[in-house]
Structure 1
Amino acid sequence: MIRSSAAVLASLLLAGCAAGPDFHRPVAPAVHDYTAAPLTTTAATPGFPGGAPQHFRQGGDIPARWWQLFHSQPLDRLIRQALAGNPDLKAAQAALLAARENALAGRGAYYPGVDVGVSANRQQDPPGALAPVPSSNASLYNLLGAQVNVSYMPDVFGLNRRTVESLDAQAQAARYEMIATDMALAANVAVTAIQVASLREQLKATQQLAGIDAHVLSIMRYQLAKGYVGRLDVAAQEAQLAQVNAALPGLRTQLAQQQHRLAVLAGRFPSEGAAATFTLADLALPRELPLSLPSALVAQRPDVLQAEANLHAASAQVGVAIANRLPNLTLSADAGSTALTIGRVFTAGTGFWGLGAALAAPIFEGGSLRHQERAARAAYTQAAEQYRSTVLAAFEDVADTLTALQQDAQALQAAAAADRAAGVTLDLAQRQWKDGYAGYLAVLSAEQAALQARIGLVQAQASRYADTVALFQALGGGWWHRADLAQDDDAPAASSTLPTKGDHEH
């Protein structure tokens, strides 16, 4: 046993390799589609904002500033302002800087440590001392000294390398977390702005509907007084007006909250408001949607890359735990001078030097090191499962968004058909009223139906715009085309296996 252990230590010493498993990038999932049902071009609804057909371009690449595909200058200004002033993004950037500095600080372990010391002492020896230091046998004297100490710990078993590897991986995780924050911020601003535009139009239509309902109620109350309608008809109209009025506070609250949210996302106080506003009609729906290949998704989504970096850091920590159970070699040297006066420091006969080497190996630590290694392996398993969960969630996100986009197109078609039908009904009712073939209540009733159809159409349009934004975010957001985000992209490369007990791989 002793000979075999010595052979292992000797081989590690000669090879100069790091203890523990080498990390390999996980292989991309072997899937070819995001959804079970085949994707088709989404249906078109001509003549309505957001009604353009959308075609999925397989293998297409996401542009760096995908939001510009909506061709809205106000939206572009909102997102640029948010990217410049959002405090969460600035915090993520600071966290990345801290992680990178910690990684650079860890690299200092590769080099010798050099310390310089200067000392000055006033000293008195006890009376009758056998060997006073000064040649004059004085018992009270000054002792001055200066020395340089050099120490170096050869990284025989890779403790320093695995530690730095873990710190580098943590810096990569912070980088991808910052990128994810950047991508989510742009998407959140776009979706919130779309919701603000939608709620503003819904509120306007609902207020008009409430006015028409109130007008209808006043007419019906007049007719009730004349005996032309019954109390039941009036009560039904009162209930309808109350329902519409009850919806107004909720819409106003939602609109105010989304406006507050939009201001805060841009790094402003709610009282300051957002920098720009627009309507849904100001947006152009992107007709061609680039759809990344499933095999490329794991290399694009920042949350997946962050989980991969966490897995890499956990793998390196296994090597750290293994190396902590192996001997450590320390080399040291010191040189200096000691004298009784400042003028004699560094003169001949006052210098000293020393060389040293120390080998320390843990013998008994109460099982702490063994359990720390087991804990590191368990943490690696945890990180591996979290990575798989993140990958599955990423594919689920894309699949849900693709399904929503196709259903949004169908919903917009139905809402547009209802809007057209309501418009035709209103036109006929107005003509018949002018010609004396219908009463004014028929016109008001048609106007009510038209406004209700308009509200449904606005909601369908907003859903299609918002889900288009969600697709760009789900596919990674095109961050790899932005010079400020894609720099220092040194993600590790190929397949990883879980380290097992007793691994000393290099």
Structure 2
Amino acid sequence: MKTMSPLAAAPLLAALLLSACAAPEFRQPEVDVPTAFREQQTSAASPGADEVRRAADGTTWKPARPAEAQPRGEWWRSFHDASLDALIAEATAANQTLAVATARVKQARAIAGIAQADRAPQVGVALGAERARLSPLELNLPPGTAVAPANVYSARLSASYEVDLFGRVSSNVAAARADAGTAEASFRSVLLSLQADVAQAYFRLRALDADLATVARTVALREESLRITSRRFQEGDIGEFDVLRAKTELATTRAEAIGLQRQRATTEHALAVLLGKPAASYSAPARPMDELAALPLIPAGLPSSLLERRPDIAGAQQAMEAANARIGVARSAMFPALTLSTAGGGIGTSPADVLKWSSRSWLLGAALAAPLFDGGRIRSNITRSQAALEEAVGSYRQSVLQAFAEVEDDLASLRILAEQSDEIAQAQTAARRSADLAQKLYDAGRGSYLELLDAQRNLATVERNAVQLRGERAVTTVALIRALGGGWDAPGAVANGEQGMRN
């Protein structure tokens, strides 16, 4: 049998060593992506025909492509509210949580730069000056010999370079770059959350203002009812029971108004924190929410597009890639590290002597360091790195499942809220008519005060429900935008926070 010569086997051995220490090829973990959202609403923003594929059962889908870095777009402008636009711009410029995320991106990018620097030779220079007196024994002179002190000047240029034989440097660079990508995705997630939180706090404030206005009208109605009831009691038309009921209803309604004021104060304080302001120095003007004639229609798209848009999913993706690269770093510790070094310069008794050719000195060297026994440290580190990748894969899959659930929740909530709003609109019409008739009957002496009170209470309840539903629909619309990963503007629009991160 013909045997392979040692010279011919060397390349094969080197290839085996490199494959053994290199980071494993990253494989995208499989996730169960539905072909369509269960609560999918008709949207004008559907993917292009060239991107859509049709399954055997007639459903459509398109393959996910990395698109998290695409501009998020100023989605809040679709509400056509100048006050909301100003608040989000203010929060983007001053929010401290966003500032922390920006600083973390800078740190991660700097760490990636440090890792990248290991690819290049490290060059340094050293200049020195010394005055010393040596012992006669150090100079091989008889004891007692007088030795004069001397000046020594030196100048030296040195360089070193680690040859990336087994992928330690390249794997470390890949891990650092993926970490930077994770930090950038986290920044975009914080930015999106900040914008959504500001919008939701703003709509909650407006809904509370509308609720307070409704309760204020009810209080005025209760006061008028008490005045009329008290007059009729004094005239002997009715008994004291109706007066006491009128006082009770008035006090109860005023207590509800006080509770709403407490809710408004806490919501206003939360908005102040988002804007980067002390709660004591911020006051939002009262602005009741009007009828929401047309909320923006949110293009939910296909479920696969969610994997492209959500910044938290993009961050989980980058975390997997970083963990995968660190397996290569851990494996490379099992093999020798080769470092090349060189230095050269001059040493003399005066600055001028340092530059003389006769004072020159130099060295060239190569060091090959390899572990012999470490008590299992390297093997344990490899196991830890592999487990970290398994953890990152689990986090990624959980992020995807959570994202799908959030979109389904918000789509279902919007559908149900729209149905509720339709029913409440009909209830308002009937309640107003009922209250008008009860008032006329009571004024004519043909109806009881309890009937009037019941009709007025029903009307107030229905009107408050209508106001609260308007607020919930606006808040849930923002929640759906957040769940989908942001806006849907055309490429080219860059959010203010992302621009600030780049500067």
Shorter-chain TM-score range: 0.7 to 0.9
- Cα offset for 1:399? 0.5
Q: 1:139 to 1:78 in 2, by over 3 A?
A: same
- Cα offset for 1:62? 9.9
What amino acid does structure 1 have at the position aligned with 2:404?
F
**SS at the partner of 2:463?**
helix
Inter-partner Cα distance in structure 1 for 2:280 and 2:31: 47
Q: Which range is displaced more, 207-216 or 372-381? A: 207-216
Residue 169 of structure 2 corresponds to 160
Residue 391 of structure 2 corresponds to 382
Does structure 1 residue 356 correspond to structure 2 residue 368? no
List aligned pairs for 1:464-503, cutoff 5 A: 464-478=473-487, 481=491, 482-483=493-494
Residue 22 of structure 1 corresponds to 25
Aligned residue pairs, count: 465
- Cα offset for 1:212? 3.5
Inter-partner Cα distance in structure 1 for 2:209 and 2:444: 36
Q: Are the equivalent residues in 2 in contact too, given 1:216–1:441 (CA < 8 A)? A: no
**SS at the partner of 1:338?**
strand
List aligned pairs for 1:19-418, cutoff 5 A: 19-26=22-29, 29-35=32-38, 39=40, 58-59=46-47, 64-127=73-136, 129-131=138-140, 138-213=147-222, 215-216=224-225, 226=236, 228-229=238-239, 231=241, 240-273=249-282, 278-281=287-290, 284-286=293-295, 288-418=297-427
Q: 1:66 to 1:59 in 2, by over 3 A?
A: same
- Cα offset for 1:105? 1.9
Q: 1:122 to 1:16 in 2, by over 3 A?
A: farther
Residue 448 of structure 1 corresponds to 457
Inter-partner Cα distance in structure 2 for 1:290 and 1:310: 29
Q: 1:28 to 1:251 in 2, by over 3 A?
A: same
Inter-partner Cα distance in structure 1 for 2:102 and 2:337: 37
Q: Are the equivalent residues in 2 in contact too, given 1:78–1:276 (CA < 8 A)? A: no
Inter-partner Cα distance in structure 1 for 2:71 and 2:436: 45
Inter-partner Cα distance in structure 1 for 2:312 and 2:71: 17
Inter-partner Cα distance in structure 2 for 1:88 and 1:479: 24
What amino acid does structure 2 have at the position aligned with 1:304?
I
What fraction of aligned residue pairs are identical, expressed as a percent?
32
- Cα offset for 1:140? 2.8
When the two structures are superposed, what TM-score results if normalisation uses the length of structure 2? 0.83
List aligned pairs for 1:427-438, cutoff 5 A: 427-432=436-441, 437-438=446-447
Q: Structure 1 residue aligned with 2:472, among 460, 463, 475?
A: 463
Q: 1:366 to 1:62 in 2, by over 3 A?
A: closer
Does structure 1 residue 11 correspond to structure 2 residue 15? yes
Inter-partner Cα distance in structure 1 for 2:221 and 2:286: 28
What amino acid does structure 1 have at the position aligned with 2:347?
T
- Cα offset for 1:86? 1.5
Inter-partner Cα distance in structure 2 for 1:63 and 1:370: 43
Q: 1:237 to 1:219 in 2, by over 3 A?
A: same
- Cα offset for 1:354? 1.1
Q: Deviations over 1:197-219 (max 9, x none)?
A: 11111122223324444554566
- Cα offset for 1:240? 4.4
**SS at the partner of 1:146?**
strand
What amino acid does structure 2 have at the position aligned with 1:407?
I
Q: Are the equivalent residues in 2 in contact too, given 1:78–1:274 (CA < 8 A)? A: no
**SS at the partner of 1:299?**
helix
Inter-partner Cα distance in structure 1 for 2:72 and 2:356: 71
What amino acid does structure 1 have at the position aligned with 2:409?
D
What amino acid does structure 2 have at the position aligned with 1:185?
L
Q: 1:218 to 1:187 in 2, by over 3 A?
A: same
What amino acid does structure 1 have at the position aligned with 2:35?
H
**SS at the partner of 1:291?**
coil
Q: Deviations over 1:81-107 (max 9, x none)?
A: 222222211221121112112211211
- Cα offset for 1:248? 2.7
Inter-partner Cα distance in structure 2 for 1:431 and 1:31: 58
Give the aligned CA root-mean-square deviation in angstroms: 3.3
Residue 51 of structure 2 corresponds to none
Q: Are the equivalent residues in 1 in contact too, given 2:189–2:312 (CA < 8 A)? A: yes
Q: Are the equivalent residues in 2 in contact too, given 1:401–1:471 (CA < 8 A)? A: yes
What amino acid does structure 1 have at the position aligned with 2:401?
L
By relative contact order (CA 8 Å, sep 6+), the higher-ranking structure is: 1
- Cα offset for 1:419? 1.0
Q: Which range is displaced more, 457-466 or 272-281? A: 272-281
- Cα offset for 1:282? 7.1
Unaligned runs of 5+ in 2: 1-5, 49-69
- Cα offset for 1:308? 0.8
Inter-partner Cα distance in structure 2 for 1:69 and 1:40: 18
Q: 1:17 to 1:81 in 2, by over 3 A?
A: farther
Q: Which range is displaced more, 435-444 or 20-29? A: 435-444
Unaligned runs of 5+ in 1: 42-54, 488-506
What amino acid does structure 1 have at the position aligned with 2:378?
L
Q: 1:276 to 1:89 in 2, by over 3 A?
A: farther
Inter-partner Cα distance in structure 2 for 1:62 and 1:316: 28
**SS at the partner of 1:110?**
coil
- Cα offset for 1:221? 6.7
**SS at the partner of 2:160?**
strand
When the two structures are superposed, what TM-score results if normalisation uses the length of structure 1? 0.82
Residue 3 of structure 2 corresponds to none
